[in-house]
Structure 1
């Protein structure tokens, strides 16, 4: 077998070995093989590693193999590829000529690969993808993390050649890759894409408008835009309105600042919304009307006065709330996170009115442990499995003699916590006794008439 043909097998093969051999190691329990780039004379040793499900190739420059792109591969190599069990290939820390990548991709057609991942790779130059016309690969998940390549501008022809495969792709991740926008024409190619993660890039409100043009990503259900340069919640609503099947939207760690009133209406399909760490100090409508999971943690909210009848999970951790939001606004709530706020008490009756509540996190607040406050918290904590962060995260802030004390250690019996229950009746009895004594004394001290007074 010629060296370039052998390279294809090694590049695309999971290799089986029970110990480290050369620059390859095999994890038998996970059926995972990891290899660093080797010189051609050492490649033959890699054939000892066979039948892995995951194959990783890391570290090196593939430019010296660029000439392979023009070599015709024997049928025997294709037959070997069809017998391999590898389902996932990871390329990491590599310089990859795009012409080589284009040549390798066509061999995946003969394999069982369902996931490709490129991590910390640099793609060099451009390549022609005409040989991929109408070729449908088994790969359904494609991931890029911290990669650099030529601009996507004016590459419509490349994506046209790849459209047969890309139209079937289900999951696409492009993170930490300095993406500034996705051309409209490219978005339209992904006709069946369900999951898109473009987090930690340089997307902005205006540059995203062409990315989500009419007809782009028509089947998209999950969109993650975490940690970009987005600033307007209203613009996001308008721009994403055409995504009729969107279920999960992540806008966390963007500087949205505030959500002003707007006439824009979110698609009713949206069920999960993440607005955590966006700098919000208040929230008004609109929010997705059917939202079931809302994460607004790590913001500057002082209150949340919104009625969300279908909400099941509400995350309000690390805000500036002074009180628990009204339970009547969230009748379906199952999970409530209130830890890391400025709350002084947990209203037992209010929280127990949430009939579906299964999980309450409310530690690291400023609890007032006088009178009924401590007993309310202790009573809630007695509900089995309701408060998973109890008791270690619940400490008293006031009164001063309980500051720093765990709430569970505060005496909270009826007589101890409500001394008025004892003091007031005793005081009343004392006052009544005094009044009775005064009346009796007054009667005894009243002067009696003289015996002869009637005759006068």
Structure 2
């Protein structure tokens, strides 16, 4: 059983090439064998420590910024001969991050995981290199319900996201794409997400209204209920409304918080009729000094918390709303407002934008130093 399990993990985990008793264990597993975390940052990592993750339900593996090309020779291992072993794994949630990964290695792992019960996959701070192997005739990958991608790039560019989706079985319900190098996907090649209920495009500050319109391919998200757009460079709710209408997207919940929202410039965009399904709208941490115009006429919840409102909104400024959230605005705490004015002096939005940019840029610099990017 042990040798077979080793071979099973070859496409996913680096093989057990060496054992070092002089270095700390890079992998830790909790007492219940639920969560296993590995961080291979040592110059000569002890890959055998990954054995501890075999029985875990949730596994997180970080490659220390190194290239995994040395393990490419194991990518052709046929998982069919180990189907019973794969099916016996408890693995449900997997995170892989901080590495340069040959595409063939990644897709070989997905092929093996197609026989598993994996439901949630997260890829973070990865650079995929090389070309995608031919797609197997059978349904190749796992039946994921959740896919999260953060700072994932493909050296060859192009339709990498579409290529990735082809290796997954249908049924995805939650999709999150953050710090993407490009969200300009080919709508013609993108499949229809029949079961996707949650789409999160947060932390893509360069997206803007034009990028949002391009990313929301028309009629590709018929079941969408929740759309999150934190820190995506959108500036007015009306322009977001126009993108939703153009794509035929009808969410119940829309989150535009952590964007520097501003009044529309004269003459402003034409009025937009919001989808009738929209019930909850989140506009917190948006630097708002006034309630923006062009909001839906009726909502269950409107979150205007942690903005810069200097007075209570009047009824004619607000939509018909069942629950209005205004916590964290200066007019509710005059002393905090006075302190804010004396210390920040009108640069709150600029500082917020700079901090966001610095955080994202700093992360990129650190990853470059670790060898994540070419």
Are positions 1:71 and 2:74 aligned together?
no
CA–CA distance in 1 between the matches of 2:218 and 2:110? 30
Unaligned runs of 5+ residues in structure 2 are 15-22, 339-374
CA contact (8 A) 2:127 2:153 kept: yes
Alignment check: 8 A CA contact 2:107 2:132 kept? yes
CA distance in 2, matches of 1:217, 1:268: 16
Are positions 1:55 and 2:63 aligned together? no
Q: CA deviation at 1:182?
A: 3.9
Structure-2 residue corresponding to 1:299: 307
| Aligned equivalent of 1:185 | 188
1:104 to 104, 109, 130: 109
SS of equivalent residue, structure 1 residue 184: coil
The CA distance in 2 between the partners of 1:23 and 1:206, in whole Å, is 44
1:338-417 pair list within 5 angstroms = 339-340=332-333, 342=334
Match of 2:255 among 250, 258, 267: 250
Q: Tell me the CA shift for residue 154 of structure 1.
A: 4.4
Q: Using a 3 Å threshold, how does the CA distance of structure 1 residues 41 and 228 change in structure 2: closer, same or farther?
A: closer
Structure 2 counterpart of 1:28, from 27, 31, 35:
31
1:265 matched to 2:268 = no
Asked if the contact 2:12/2:109 (under 8 Å) is kept, the reply is: no
Report the equivalent of 2:241.
237
Corresponding residue for 1:117?
122
How far is the alpha carbon of 1:42 from its aligned partner? 5.8
Q: Aligned equivalents of 1:264 and 1:53: distance in 2?
A: 46
Under a length normalisation based on structure 2, what TM-score does the superposition of the two structures give?
0.73
Match in the other structure for 2:10: 8
Cα distance in 2 for partners of 1:50, 1:277 equals 42
CA distance in 2, matches of 1:313, 1:151: 47
Greater gyration radius: 1
**Tell me, what secondary structure is at the counterpart of 2:36?**
strand
Distance 1:178 1:311, change over 3 A: farther
Normalising by structure 1, we get a TM-score of 0.61
Instruction: Write out the 4+ residue segments of structure 1 that deviate beyond 6 Å after TM superposition.
Output: 38-41
Distance 1:272 1:30, change over 3 A: farther
- Which residue of 260, 283, 296 corresponds with 1:288? 296
SS in 1 for 2:122: strand
Q: Does 1:175 align with 2:178?
A: yes
Secondary structure, counterpart of 1:131 in structure 2: coil
After TM superposition, give the deviation of residue 271 of structure 1 in Å. Answer: 1.6
Q: How many correspondences in the alignment? A: 318
Select 1:197's aligned residue among 192, 197, 200: 200
- Which of 222, 233, 242 aligns to 1:218? It is 222
Deviations 1:399-444 (A, max 9, x none): xxxxxxxxxxxxxxxxxxxxxxxxxxxxxxxxxxxxxxxxxxxxxx
Residue segments in structure 1 that go unaligned for 5+ positions in a row: 13-19, 322-338, 343-362, 367-456
The 1:285–1:132 alpha-carbon spacing in structure 2 relative to 1, beyond 3 Å, is: farther
Counterparts of 2:300 and 2:135, CA distance in 1: 45
CA contact (8 A) 1:10 1:46 kept: no
SS at match of 2:188: helix
Question: What is the Cα deviation at residue 3 of structure 1?
Answer: 9.9
Q: SS at 1:147's partner residue?
A: strand
What are the Cα deviations for residues 344-384 of structure 1, in whole angstroms up to 9, with x where unaligned?
xxxxxxxxxxxxxxxxxxx9578xxxxxxxxxxxxxxxxxx
The 3-state SS of whatever aligns with 1:311 is: strand
Out of 286, 311, 329, which is 1:318 matched to? 329
Q: What's 2:89 paired with?
A: 84
Q: Give 3-state SS (helix, strand or coil) of 1:181's partner.
A: coil
Q: Which has the higher contact order (CA 8 A, sep 6+)?
A: 2
Instruction: Please state how far the C-alpha of 1:254 moved relative to its aligned partner.
Output: 2.1
Question: Does the 8 Å contact 2:297/2:319 carry over to 1?
Answer: yes
SS of 1:206 mapped into structure 2: helix
Tell me the CA shift for residue 114 of structure 1. Answer: 0.6
Provide the residue aligned with 1:428 in structure 2. Answer: none
8 Å Cα contact 2:162-2:190 kept in structure 1 = no
1:254 counterpart SS class:
coil
> What is the deviation of 1:261?
8.1
Which of 139, 142, 150 is the aligned partner of 1:145?
Answer: 150
Secondary structure at the aligned position of 2:322 is classed as coil
Structure 1 pair 310–67 and aligned structure 2 pair: CA distance change class (3 A): same
